[in-house]
Structure 1
Amino acid sequence: MTTQTILPVNADSLSQLSKQRQEPAWLTENRLKALELAANLELPKLEKMRIERLDIQNYGSYKENAGMTSLAEVPASIRELVQDQESGSLLIQRNSGVVYTKLAPELAEKGVVFTDLQTAAKEHGELVKAHLHTAVKADESSVAALHAAIWNGGVFLYVPKNVEVTVPLQAVLLTDDGEATFAPHVLIIADVNSSVTYVDNYVSEGNQAVTHNGAVEVFAKQGAKVRYATIHQMGTNVTDLSYRRAVIENDASMEWIVGEMNSGDTVSDTYSVLKGNGSTSDSKVIAVGSGSQKLNYTTRANHFGKSSESQMITRAVMREEASAIINGITKIEKGATKSDGQQTEKVLMLSPKARGDANPILLIDEDDVKAGHAASVGQVNQEQIYYLMSRGISREIAESLIIYGFLAPVVSQVPMESLQKQLQAVIERKLGQ
């Protein structure tokens, strides 16, 4: 029995919208096929959580946004995030579309492409067509299918063979109109022996209910190095569904840095496919839950290549009545000899009503490998709080210090000083709610 999905758009209007945006015929066809799938596929099955209990039907409709000619025009809600980016590479999406794009001239000269995905589908069609929806496939679930049908704006980043990008490229994705569809798709292709760092922030403003259905696909070709850092800091009115995938080829490396700082219900899946021999993946996830949030965070690594290595670290802090399911899944396929998969999940609960559940899973189909996991869930040590309070520190500050100490081992491993500072600032704001 399938679970029916209420579609926010019908085939005729979707087809008309695609033609209005002058999308290539193959993309229109892909959207229509995905919409048909969305009507018949089931919702994703989550570990110890039923996604249908979340508010996931607030898609709104596609709405055009006026472009911006300079950063002086950006909304106040994201001004702080872009204030020093006049000369850098930056993309801004507001609701249903990208309103600002800039690529540093020296990167353009090297052949780097950094633009919205809708433009890339027209100007770099063969490259986009060969990769789009091949990592996060439309037939996985009704959520994935609906995203494939209605995605808008988005980011396309291509780094040519042997090109090293030393300065991070950045994107800010903002939803501040509850009636506008917000479903960006990020597609990154790092060609052979290239390297790149990409950073994005997801932000919201306003009180209307919004469903963010987003997907990220990263392709690290042979010998490529990709670092992807993302901070989600959307409000209580936003339900965040985020699916991230990386396909990592021979001797390529992928690093995920994920800050889960939303105030609303969240489902995220960060998945590395270690396809090639000697491929590596390193995933760091930091999360803070508060209020009555319902959270489901999954980090996965699937080893196919020989001598492939994965490391996954998740640290989550739950406050008030927040509840979180933390899943870590390492799978080593038959033939992936000499592989090494390690994972650690730790959850700290600051309230008797907070809930945290760590689920480490190892699926090993090969003998000549290394694999391990560690998981812990516990309440904050009251003796530590009393000790700090006895030194004249308030309970609120004492709890904050303990939280910083709990998260510090992961934050300190973030290799970008600017991102460390941003994560710390977001954590402080989150704890100040």
Structure 2
Amino acid sequence: MSTQTVLPIDRSSLVELSKSRQEPEWLTSLRGEALELAGSLELPALEKTRIDRWNLSSFGTYKASAPMANLGELPETARQLLPAEGQLDNLLVQRNSGVVYNSLAESLKAQGVVFSSLEEAVRTHGDLVQKHLFSVVKKDENRLTALHSALWSGGVFLYVPKNVNVEVPLQALFLTDDAEASFSPHVLIVAEQHASVTYVDNFVSEGSLNGLVQNGVVEVVVGAGAKVTFASVHNLNNTVTDLTYRRAVVENDGSIEWVIGEMHYGNAMSDTSSVLKGNGSTSDAKVICVGTNDQKLNITTRAVHFGKSSDSQMITRAVMRDEATAIINGITKIEKGATKANGEQTEKVLMLSPKSRGDANPILLIDEDDVTAGHAASVGQVNPEQVYYLMSRGISKAEAERLIIYGFLAPVVSDIPLEQVASQLQLLVERKLGQ
């Protein structure tokens, strides 16, 4: 039975806001249509998680953000995540509702690369954005995607033309530190045929944000023979509810690599998916998740195979302590006609407290005979025999448990291709487990 949905803004105010931001008519109409959908669509049905019981009412209101000439004005937690001085050429910073800093090396501009706020790209590259925006994650999928389609602001547009190889990572920092300001960035990445790029972003928060909801969406379009590496670390505090859909569509012989660190401190839902549309397309997803206190996490990694000889690999490691709860879902779907496809997945959860809970749900949905697929899943506590063995070698109990935990996470951390992200995840794991 559906209940009446109280929307954070009415349509006339939304349209007026869109016009004040000088958005084109097609986007104003899209926002209005999405808001109407949000009033009738249901929340997503998550495996073993009642998201309707979460606080999902505080979306904030749009506040224009002034450009920032000096990044030293950012809080210390955000400044720590910035590249070294002199390496700020390929960086975008969003603070609350809007982008406040954006730079791109002239050498990349000369090759036709675009790296800007999505709001700006709507005006400067309108036809290109209109072609791809909400083509991967549809506005009518559920109430969250509809609300995001209506309310997103700031965000990133990254476009890499055909045959262009971007050798340096492009980085974005998303900061929320105003409880009244909306914070729902949209990331749209388009890599044309035989292009390659690495994109890294960080989500951080500062101060008490009174239950603010981060409702974000990532869309990645991977052209034939293109390669995209997407790395993201979410480290928002316990006064934020973190909701994120990430999805890539991959054409013939294209490749998407996901590196995801779910280091959030409040309730979180994330869905990271690859649609392997083309023949020979590939996906590799590595996810680390650490839960503390009484937070509730629902983490899904998904691969849908349409292309022949497509390949997907996914590995998730989650560590739960205190009274934290995690539902870890791995879904491999091989459609009819995707012959010679291969899908492998592993989900493992380690619980450090008798009150913590973790569920690992490996799901294989196979509609084609000529394929290979496999899964492995486990849920358990720290092995006392391993702790005893290490203690017998003169190691303290606390240090023994620490070594076992890091050994549990090592198959993901050690395989992360980006040293910067691997080091950051290691630091955040130590911080969360050292409380």
Q: Above 0.5 in TM-score?
A: yes
1:10-409 correspondence runs (5 A): 10-84=10-84, 86-87=86-87, 88-208=89-209, 209-409=211-411
By how many angstroms is 1:63 displaced? 1.0
Give the whole-Å Cα distance in 2 for the aligned partners of 1:319 and 1:65. 38
**How far apart, CA to CA, are the structure 1 residues paired with 2:391 and 2:96?**
45
| Equivalent pair of 1:4/1:42 in contact (CA under 8 Å) | no
1:314-334 CA-partner distances (Å, limit 9, x unpaired):
010011110100111100000
| Inter-partner Cα distance in structure 2 for 1:100 and 1:398 | 44
SS in 1 for 2:167: coil
Q: Partners in 2 of 1:426 and 1:85 — Cα distance? A: 23
For residues 307 and 3 of structure 2, what CA distance do their matches in structure 1 show? 36
Classify 1:302/1:85 alpha carbon distance in 2 versus 1 (closer, same or farther; 3 Å). Answer: farther
**Do the aligned partners of residues 320 and 340 (structure 1) sit closer, same or farther apart at CA in structure 2, a change above 3 Å counting?**
same
- Do 1:3 and 1:41's aligned partners in 2 also have CA atoms closer than 8 Å? no
Structure 2 CA distance for aligned equivalents of residues 163 and 108 of structure 1: 11
Q: How much has 1:207 moved relative to structure 2? A: 1.2
How much does 1:391 deviate?
4.6
Superposed CA offset, 1:179-205 (max 9, x none) = 111000000000110000000000011
After superposition, the C-alpha distances for 1:30-57 in whole angstroms (9 at most, x for unaligned) are 0000000000000100001111111111
2:67 and 2:431 map into 1 onto residues whose CA distance is 30
Deviations 1:409-433 (A, max 9, x none): 1111101122211111111111122
Report if the CA contact (8 A) 1:3-1:43 is conserved. no
Deviations 1:374-396 (A, max 9, x none): 10111111222234345554443
**Count of residue correspondences:** 433
Matched position secondary structure for 1:327 = strand
Cα contact 1:71–1:86 (8 A) shared by 2 = no
Shift of 1:365: 0.5
User: Structure 1: which amino acid aligns with 2:310?
Assistant: S
SS of match in other structure, 2:398: helix
CA contact (8 A) 1:327 1:360 kept: yes
CA separation of 1:392 and 1:6: change in aligned 2, threshold 3 A: farther
Find the aligned partners of 2:288 and 2:10 in 1 and give their Cα distance.
38
Q: Deviations over 1:43-90 (max 9, x none)?
A: 100001111111111111111222111323322221111141543300
TM-score normalised by length of structure 2: 0.97
Match of 1:4 in 2: 4
CA contact (8 A) 2:75 2:206 kept: no
Over 6 Å off, 4+ runs = none
Residue identity opposite 2:193 in structure 1? V
Hey, what's the Cα distance between the residues in 2 that align with 1:2 and 1:76? 44
- Deviation, structure 1 residue 400: 1.9
- Measure, in 2, the Cα distance between the counterparts of 1:300 and 1:212: 21
3-state DSSP of counterpart to 1:149: helix
In the alignment, is the contact (CA less than 8 A) between 1:190 and 1:224 conserved in 2?
yes
Unaligned runs of 5+ in 1: none
Deviates more, 1:389-398 or 1:40-49: 389-398
Contact 1:288 1:318 in 2 (8 A): yes
Alignment RMSD: 1.2
Q: Sequence identity, in percent? A: 65
Structure-1-length-normalised TM-score: 0.98
Q: Distance in 2 between matches of 1:36 and 1:86?
A: 46
Partner amino acid, structure 2, of 1:200: D
